[in-house]
Amino acid sequence: MPRVFKATNIGKEEKEVKKDYLDRHMPHVICEDTVKKGEVFRVKVRMGEHYTHPDDYDHYISTIQLWNRETLLAETRYSSGAYGNKPANAEVDFYISAPEVSMNLSAMAVCTKHGLWQSEDIPVKVI
């Protein structure tokens, strides 16, 4: 089982000492906090807030996944060079249909050198 780096498990001190490393690997789920049942809505997943991640042949973000609790909703894959071999904040927009009950969205991302990273959970109310 691989180690999963979770946003919720990273302490304040560690966040300060390794803030660029942590920031560039952390996926963020960005979407409306309330959606209508059956409505198709956009969920953006963006890597990092303040620091970009490398896009080298042996070090890049290869996968971004969107989860609703334990259910995988969508995923995208990147090859090295997708961002022109320049550091970037990889991001992807997923369009999903709101189910009947409220959701708890999270994202997972894979760095080919630094492993598996999990975002914070984002609750989405379905009305």
Site residues (vs Fe ion, CB under 5 A)? 111, 113-114
Of 31 and 48, the one with the shorter C-beta distance to Fe ion is 48
Min dist. Cβ of residue 91 to Fe ion (A): 16
Q: Which amino acid is at 73?
A: L
C-alpha torsion sign, points 110, 14, 43, 57: negative
Of 6 and 114, the one with the shorter C-beta distance to Fe ion is 114
Min dist. Cβ of residue 54 to Fe ion (A): 7
Min dist. Cβ of residue 62 to Fe ion (A): 10
User: No. of H helices and E strands in the chain?
Assistant: 2, 10
Nearest to 38 by CA among 77, 96, 122: 96
Residue whose token pair is 């409505």: 39
- 75-89 burial, b if ≥16 CB within 10 A, otherwise e? beebebeebeeeebb
Of 15 and 125, the one with the shorter C-beta distance to Fe ion is 15
Residue 40, by phi and psi: left (phi above 0), alpha (psi -120 to 50) or beta?
A: beta
Residue nearest to Fe ion (CB): 111
Of 22 and 31, the one with the shorter C-beta distance to Fe ion is 22
Min dist. Cβ of residue 66 to Fe ion (A): 20
